[in-house]
A and B are shown apart, each in its own frame.
Chain A
Amino acid sequence: MKRTPLFDFHIQYGAKMVDFAGWEMPLLYAGIVEEHHHTRQAASVFDVSHMGRIEFHGADVEKLLQRVCTRQLGDAQPGQSRYSHVCNESGGILDDVIVSRYPDHWMMVCNASNRERILNWLHRHAEGLDVRIEDITEATLMIALQGPQVIPLLSQKLPLPVADLKRYRFLTGSYMGITYSVFRSGYTGEDGVEIILPANMAAMIAGYFPGLEPENVKPAGLGARDTLRLEAGMPLYGHELDENTDSLTAGLGWCVDLNKDFIGAEAMRKRVAAGLERKLVGIELEGRRIARHRASVFHGGVPVGEVTSGTFSPTLQKSIAMAYVRADLAEPGTRLEVDVAGKPTGAVVVKLPFYKRN
């Protein structure tokens, strides 16, 4: 199993480690719910070094990325990031990624579980183009700092105007000759940043947090990351998104520009013309039981869909889930039943996200 540069930090903080996409990652330190609340109320640091980081150099990079990404990237300015999907020819989602434009190159962050596949896909479509693709995942580390206290704290600690940084913009800084990038983005529904820096800065980063702890920044694991993103209605590849799903059905049509020519565009235009059969919805369940991935959803006893993710929301104190349901049943307020451990459980469609920060 692969270890991130912050492995020793996790052990030092008593993490319970698990295998995630071939990486030995922290599931939790103090507890999933405690870390969840701390992120909503203060600030947490997540090691997200397992995520794939791919750099692109050359004259044809924009051409390649415009071809493989669903999102319009042509008007992206240096210092800007954009969430996009990468699709196959039939419009099925191969991965969801964030593409960032630097002054002289581009960078993509992809899911750990899809890294090999995306690299192969990119190499295949870069043939004949002036593009150099470099996998910088293991040469770098990536952390996410998330929570309402992150920006005030970093404004004091970093010599960068982080407070003025808009969402999905990034800044590049230099510390003793080491360059790093700070992105105003995240996967928790809270304000915060994601930072990429060289892997050999792990010891410095790890030494940075004890001074901030315990009132401010505490480490949080993949468990809290999942409950936080679910409350925020954010999709997870392998659950809400996969090769059998398209971006429009997933409710992420805003990251698709059907006016440009990208891989999967033709198939998606056909789907739009034919009308979508299913839609991704948020649901709230009665009681405390959790609807699990692939649990069946019914309407008046008739099967109408499937749960993609579910949890007991620590913030709302409700059982929540996301599910694909028949398109005519996607209106908030629609009553459904979900198979929870063999028992039909009452549920109602609600607007996504479940949680929105003030």
Chain B
Amino acid sequence: MNPAPADRKYSKTHEWFKVDGDVVTIGISQFAADELTDITFVDLPKPGTQIVAGQPFGEIESVKATSALYSAVGGEVIEANAALADQPELVNQSPFDEGWMIKVRVSDPSPLEGLMDATAYNAMIQE
């Protein structure tokens, strides 16, 4: 299993948040992708959509189950990973890189401070 990279933050619901200036890239962890099993569909918001902190912004579906995707931050979606429409399996294969989901221009970055770093996240999933 790919360990959680140290260059980003993690939520309890297994999304990751990578900050670059006022843009945050969001995806899910390898642990979450493995738990879901083979992913067959990812429903993401279109660029221009406003998403709200703590609210679902999309859905992810696997052979096994359907789950909501949550964002810890609010803002405007500036890009969604178009490759996932035809290749949702990228989330299984490369959740921290090619399987990213959306990029958000963040209005208020403060909720990021409450998230876990990679060490804390790895400890949580090992419990």
Binding site for B on A (CB under 8 A): 16, 27-28, 31-33, 223, 227, 287-290, 292, 311-312, 341
Contact among B34, B41, B59 with A312 in the assembled complex (CB-CB below 8 Å): B41
Q: State whether A223 and B37 are in contact (beta carbons under 8 Å apart), knowing that A32-B63, A33-B63, A312-B63 are contacts in the complex.
A: yes
Number of A-B contacts (CB under 8 A): 39
B40 CB-CB contact with A under 8 Å:
yes
Could you pull out 5 A-B pairs where Cβ atoms are within 8 angstroms? A31-B38, A288-B41, A288-B88, A290-B63, A292-B66
Classify chain B's interface size.
10 to 19
Binding site for A on B (CB under 8 A): 34, 37-38, 40-41, 59, 61, 63-64, 66, 88-89, 92
Smallest CB–CB gap between A33 and chain B, Å?
4
19 new A-B contacts, CB < 8 A, other than A31-B38, A311-B63, are A16-B37, A28-B37, A33-B38, A223-B37, A223-B38, A227-B63, A287-B41, A288-B40, A288-B41, A288-B61, A289-B41, A290-B40, A290-B61, A290-B63, A290-B66, A292-B66, A312-B41, A312-B63, A341-B59
A287 to B34, CA, bound (A): 23
CB distance A312 to B66 under 8 Å? no
Closest residue of chain A to B92, judged by CB? A31
- Chain A contacts for B92, CB-based, 8 A: 31
Smallest CB–CB gap between B42 and chain A, Å?
9
Smallest CB–CB gap between A10 and chain B, Å?
16
- Chain A contacts for B64, CB-based, 8 A: 27, 32, 223
Smallest CB–CB gap between A219 and chain B, Å?
15
CB distance A289 to B61 under 8 Å? yes
A289 to B38, CA, bound (A): 13
Smallest CB–CB gap between B59 and chain A, Å?
7
A223 to B34, CA, bound (A): 13
CB distance A341 to B37 under 8 Å? no
Closest residue of chain B to A16, judged by CB? B34
Contact among B37, B41, B59, B66 with A32 in the assembled complex (CB-CB below 8 Å): B37
- Chain B contacts for A287, CB-based, 8 A: 41
Closest residue of chain B to A27, judged by CB? B37
- Chain B contacts for A223, CB-based, 8 A: 37-38, 63-64
- Chain B contacts for A32, CB-based, 8 A: 37-38, 63-64
CB distance A31 to B66 under 8 Å? no
Closest residue of chain B to A287, judged by CB? B41
